[in-house]
Amino acid sequence: MDDVRTSPGMIIDGRYLLESQLGGGAFAIVWRARELETKRPVALKLLHPRYRDEPYLMERFLQEAALLLALSHPNIARAYAFEIDRPEPYVAMELIEGRTLDEELGLRAENDRSFTREETRSIFLQLFRGLEYAHENNVVHRDLKPSNIMLEYQGAEFVVKILDFGLAKLTNRPSGDATTQGRVMGSFPYMAPEQARGESVDTRADVFSAGVMLFEVLTLRRAFERGDDGEWLRAYAEPVKMNKFNRAPELLGRMAYSARPKPSEVVPELERRVDELVVRALAPKAEARFADSKQMREAFERAMPARPSPIREATARMAALIAGVAVILGAAALYSSREEALPEAPESELVVAPATPVVVEKAAQRVVRETPAPLELEEEPAAPVVETKRRVRQPSKVDEVALVAPPKRSQLRADLERAAAADSSAEDLERLAERIAKRAQSIDDPAVRAKIERLARSSARLGDFKGVRSALDELERAEKLGDE
């Protein structure tokens, strides 16, 4: 299948209107499409027609469609429909806006911007839960790698989606199943050693793949590939050369027999228990690994527990301090009230003021009112207010530039650089990203256009000026090529 056969505006099976090409590989092309009846956007995976007569590939395509329809989990990309008995066999799937994990890794490694502990926990807890659901339903993915993990942005949070079950295996099938016998399937260097040797695999092969990805997210470095001098390679930011370290026999030998890579070798501040988690997941022998995704998730939560936010910790300490001081002053008030007699009252009519709840409450209020707070919890000074008491955002420098279409090429870059220098708000950055996406509509190549739009918008959501600048660089390169 090529661009002559499939192009924007083409209708597939009378149901799906092709809009732009999202990507593709040796066996299939993925298009952004729209379902005509529901107007719902979908990712339409089309098998190359030349493989219609390949029983093994047709079986893989059918299996992926059937599995995705059967699996229903928030962290697994959904399938809506499929059809194989036609010139363009297809699977209509959930369209996920965002970046693949390999794109995110490359961007962060290039800019030396590590994932935070909270981001790492969020990504892998979601990944483990989706994988755990698959394992519980007797499905082994067998091709887990960063390009098959999608990060969908919802505000500042990631929603993880597992893609591409084309190599998935049903573990309740006989061991002599024709889809696995004698074949090596998967992706170096994410496949487990036994998988690379063409042996039968189970859920522990997915554990190995998840361990490789966890190492890369923790360190922004490749787990097994090396540079010309044996140095660590920045994950997806440097090319993997076919040197003496990365030829297939040497790479497989390193994966199967060498000492396991430890994240602390790259990031020394990582705890020993994190090293132990990764080393066990990457064990060369399957029986030494975690049994499945559930077991690895439980170990991950022990190795990387959630940390309470600093503001929450400070608030709790403040509350405890106030409560302690209130108790002390309440006790002092009780002692004092028992020692003091009412004025001019005879001894037989002495009245002792009891330590009622009101006394203790007033003492606590006095402490709160008079005791200076030991911690400054105000996040920012009070913003200007109007009569409605609503906060008013001050106009930024970017607001001064009219959003006109199409903007001058030099003007858009000047606006972006001025916004970066002024440390403008996320809203300003998103406006600039939309201007880049709008200008990208003039690019003829749909794949390039979609890549620029995705990079600009997703970077803006993260507040990543460098990512938005990279999108503008891609746009200007594409425009230059078009002008030539």
Across-strand partners of 154? 157
Is 318 a member of any domain? yes
pLDDT on residue 389: 44
For residue 151, the Cα-to-chain-centroid distance in whole angstroms is: 4
Q: What is the DSSP string of 67-120?
A: HHHH---TTB--EEEEE-SSSS-EEEEE---EEEHHHHHHHHHHHT-PPPHHHH
264 phi/psi in degrees, rounded to 5: -70, -15
Q: Find the DSSP H helices in 149-202.
A: 193-196
Residues 318 and 415 in one domain: no
Give the chain's domain count.
4
Is 6 a member of any domain? no
Residues 159 and 270 in one domain: yes
The span from the CA of 233 to the CA of 238, in Å, is 6
Q: Give the burial class of 179: count Cβ atoms within 10 A of its Cβ; 0-12 exposed, 13-18 middle, 19 or more buried.
A: middle
Residues 270 and 235 in one domain: yes
The span from the CA of 280 to the CA of 260, in Å, is 9
Is 4 a member of any domain? no
pLDDT along the chain (484 residues), means of 10: 69 94 82 95 88 77 80 92 85 92 95 95 97 93 94 86 79 46 66 92 96 98 94 94 91 92 96 97 97 97 81 59 71 59 45 47 48 42 44 47 46 83 76 89 83 83 80 86 72
Give tens-digit pLDDT for 177-196.
433 444 556 688 899 999 99
424 phi/psi in degrees, rounded to 5: -70, 170
pLDDT on residue 309: 52
The position carrying tokens 């962060």 is 108
Residues 41 and 86 in one domain: yes
pLDDT on residue 315: 60
Q: With contact defined as beta carbons under 8 Å apart, do 460 and 426 qualify?
A: yes
Where do the DSSP E strands lie in 163-296? 169-170, 221-226, 232-234
Is 5 a member of any domain? no
CB burial of 244-255 (b: ≥16 within 10 Å; e: otherwise) equals ebbeeeebbebb
Residues 103 and 228 in one domain: yes
pLDDT on residue 181: 44
Q: Which two tokens stand for residue 185?
A: 């399937």
CATH number at residue 26: 3.30.200.20
Give tens-digit pLDDT for 320-339.
677 676 667 766 666 565 55
Residues 111 and 224 in one domain: yes
Residues 281 and 147 in one domain: yes
Is 244 a member of any domain? yes
- Show which of 33, 60, 94 is a domain's final residue: 94
pLDDT on residue 308: 64
Residues 171 and 297 in one domain: yes
Residues 103 and 90 in one domain: no
376 phi/psi in degrees, rounded to 5: -90, 110
Amino acid at 320: A
Say whether pTM exceeds 0.75. Answer: no
Q: Which two tokens stand for residue 264?
A: 């602390």
For 423, the domain range is 400-483
CATH number at residue 286: 1.10.510.10
For residue 140, the Cα-to-chain-centroid distance in whole angstroms is: 22
Task: Find the helix or strand (DSSP H, E) in which 158 lies.
Answer: strand 157-162
